[in-house]
């Protein structure tokens, strides 16, 4: 079975109606992983015995008349930055390769399983999710199902590639600087980074990147992402940042769609160099909105300067906290070389005042967005500035290698904004191109509604050729 040929909602409905079983879906996922995963390296651990047992238990509950949840029988992969009971959480790092088997699930995984999902394995990620390219010394590189000569993006690249290749219909992801949106964009998925606090980051351990990162489900289409979000959003007492339960179902909120009267469009945010093909695809997508009667208001620049330095300060301070104790040991030398360099450059030297200055930059960026959203309700930008290179290489903009091909995503982690991506087209080299939609804080539904509207206009039946 190729899970790209149907939707999560349809699969769960078939299981609930007993037209198929959770075991059959799990067997199909395991067979597809065995056949295709060696080509893309999306999954780094699979437990077929546990998954089949969990699926059989769900089928028994369904036969007994129990409510098995809105995601009944859906096989999923879990990004290897978070815990899934029975699996190691290696965080893509050699130094955690022998970490203890997780005894409990993360809050996100726990809620997905409660909604009926079956965990089949863990998906690849760069070391501690530090970059937009899913490759690491422990498991190697995850390849893009659309073009195996290119990276699947990151840091949720294993999850994005698994969905894009039809290995499973859904995975978990996390986004601290674009790590859901970047791989979703380059793998042809619709993706969503919820507002900070929508999906709890609590549990026994503090979140690695503080106020930057948020978790969420990943699927091929935004209505399936929304269905899963309905099952996992809501407060948790162990997360200081968690938000109250939404007043209404997000799935019901996107049933009837209406184009917004106006939106903002920023082709560079004021600082990014953008590939010509990316810009052309995004501008073509805007014409679909204009056909609905939406006014496109160009609002470039959005920011006075690229906020990457304060973002790096906050992110690498978190990774210094996690790994700094290994410095001057043999284990330090086992870390990703580029990761070590980033930690040394941005995670070691900041003083307390420097860290507060980085948080000040988040405040300033958000104030700018508040001003902007008084003019337009939503902001559109390219999701990425160019195309991923080969795994381990920089991306490219107009054919020139650049590490900042991901320059459009991290500002909206700093501002805690809901932000998503939808496929706007396919490039000449066979790579998808994403259009990003950003909303005000907590306006997740507005972002989801526009993503769904754009997806209805732009989505094609073309699949990754794998």
pLDDT by position in tens, the chain (length 466): 899 999 999 999 999 999 999 999 999 999 999 999 999 999 999 999 999 999 999 999 999 999 999 999 999 999 999 999 999 999 999 999 999 999 999 999 999 999 999 999 999 999 999 999 999 999 999 999 999 999 999 999 999 999 999 999 999 999 999 999 999 999 999 999 999 999 999 999 899 998 999 999 999 999 999 999 999 999 999 999 999 999 999 999 999 999 999 999 999 999 999 999 999 999 999 999 999 999 999 999 999 999 999 999 999 999 999 999 999 999 999 999 999 999 999 999 889 999 999 999 999 999 999 999 999 999 999 999 999 999 999 999 999 999 899 999 999 999 999 999 999 999 999 999 999 999 999 999 999 999 999 999 998 889 999 9
Mean pLDDT of the chain: 97
Distance CA 55, CA 116 (A): 9
What are the domain boundaries of the chain? 3-308+351-458
Tell me whether the omega of the peptide bond preceding residue 301 falls within 30 degrees of 0, making it cis: yes
pLDDT at 459: 85
Distance CA 465, CA 147 (A): 8
Contacts for 100-108: CB closer than 8 Å, 24+ residues apart: 106/78, 106/82, 106/203, 106/215, 107/199, 107/200, 107/201, 107/202, 107/203, 107/236, 107/238, 107/239, 108/82, 108/172, 108/199, 108/200, 108/215, 108/216, 108/217, 108/232
Q: Which of 179, 185, 190, 417 is catalytic?
A: 179
Distance CA 338, CA 124 (A): 18
Torsion of CA 171, 175, 177, 178, to 10 degrees: 40
Is 349 an active-site residue? no
Q: Which of 93, 106, 155, 213 is catalytic?
A: 155
Is 113 an active-site residue? no
For residue range 144-184, list pLDDT tens digits in order: 999 999 999 999 999 999 999 999 999 999 999 999 999 99
Q: Which of 21, 79, 113, 213 is catalytic?
A: 79
Distance CA 301, CA 410 (A): 16
> CA nearest 315: which of 376, 362, 363?
362
Distance CA 69, CA 333 (A): 46
**Could you tell me the CA-to-CA distances from 174 to 108, 233, 245, 339 in Å, in that order?**
10, 14, 20, 18
For residue range 52-72, list pLDDT tens digits in order: 999 999 999 999 999 999 999
Per CATH, domain 3-308+351-458 is 3.40.1830.10: no
For residue range 276-296, list pLDDT tens digits in order: 999 999 999 999 999 999 999
pTM: 0.98
pLDDT at 461: 85
| DSSP bridge partners of 172 | 217
pLDDT at 169: 98
| Angle separating helix axes 308-323 and 352-373, nearest 10 degrees | 140
Distance CA 69, CA 13 (A): 10
pLDDT at 53: 98
Pairing assessment for the beta strands 395-397 and 400-402 based on DSSP bridges: antiparallel
pLDDT at 57: 98
Distance CA 42, CA 137 (A): 15
Is 159 an active-site residue? no
Distance CA 91, CA 74 (A): 24
Tell me whether the omega of the peptide bond preceding residue 155 falls within 30 degrees of 0, making it cis: yes
Distance CA 54, CA 131 (A): 33
């Amino acid at each position: 079975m190729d899970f790209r040929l149907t939707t999560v909602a349809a699969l769960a409905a078939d299981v609930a109606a007993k037209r198929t079983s959770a075991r059959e879906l799990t067997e199909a996922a395991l067979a597809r992983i065995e056949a295709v995963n060696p080509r893309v390296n999306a999954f780094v651990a699979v437990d077929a015995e546990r998954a089949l047992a969990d699926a059989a238990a769900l089928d028994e509950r369904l036969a007994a008349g129990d409510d098995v949840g809105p995601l009944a029988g859906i096989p999923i992969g879990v990004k290897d930055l978070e815990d899934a009971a029975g699996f190691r959480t290696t965080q893509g790092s050699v130094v955690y390769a022998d970490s203890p088997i997780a005894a409990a699930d993360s809050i996100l995984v726990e809620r997905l399983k409660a909604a009926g999902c079956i965990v089949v394995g863990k998906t690849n990620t760069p070391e501690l999710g530090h970059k937009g390219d899913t490759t690491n010394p422990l498991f190697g590189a995850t390849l893009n199902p659309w073009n195996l000569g290119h990276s699947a993006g990151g840091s949720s690249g294993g999850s994005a590639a698994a969905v894009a290749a039809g290995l499973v219909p859904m995975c978990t992801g996390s986004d601290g600087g674009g790590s859901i949106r970047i791989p979703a964009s380059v793998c042809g998925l619709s993706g969503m980074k919820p507002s900070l606090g929508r999906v709890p980051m609590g549990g026994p351990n503090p979140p690695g990147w503080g106020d930057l990162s948020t978790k969420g489900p990943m699927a091929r289409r935004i209505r399936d992402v929304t269905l899963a979000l309905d099952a996992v959003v809501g407060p948790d007492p162990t997360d200081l940042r968690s938000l109250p339960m939404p007043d209404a179902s997000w799935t019901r909120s996107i049933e009837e769609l209406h184009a917004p009267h106006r939106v903002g469009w920023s082709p560079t945010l004021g600082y990014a160099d953008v590939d010509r093909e990316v810009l052309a695809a995004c501008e073509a997508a805007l014409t679909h909105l204009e056909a609905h009667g939406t006014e496109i208001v160009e609002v470039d620049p959005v920011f006075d300067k690229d906020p990457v330095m304060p973002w790096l300060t906050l992110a690498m301070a978190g990774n210094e906290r996690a790994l700094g104790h290994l410095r001057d040991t043999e284990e330090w030398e086992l870390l990703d070389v580029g990761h070590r360099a980033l930690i040394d450059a941005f995670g070691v030297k900041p003083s307390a005042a420097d860290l507060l200055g980085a948080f000040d930059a988040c405040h300033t960026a958000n104030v700018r967005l508040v001003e902007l959203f008084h003019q337009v309700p939503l902001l559109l930008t390219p999701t990425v500035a160019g195309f991923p290179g080969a795994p381990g290489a920089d991306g490219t903009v107009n054919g020139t290698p650049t590490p900042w091909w991901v320059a459009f995503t991290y500002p909206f982690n700093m501002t805690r904004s809901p932000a998503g991506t939808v496929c706007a087209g396919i490039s000449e080299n066979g790579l998808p191109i994403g259009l990003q939609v950003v909303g005000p804080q907590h306006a997740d539904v507005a972002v989801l509604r526009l993503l769904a509207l754009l997806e209805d206009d732009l989505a094609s039946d073309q699949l990754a050729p794998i």
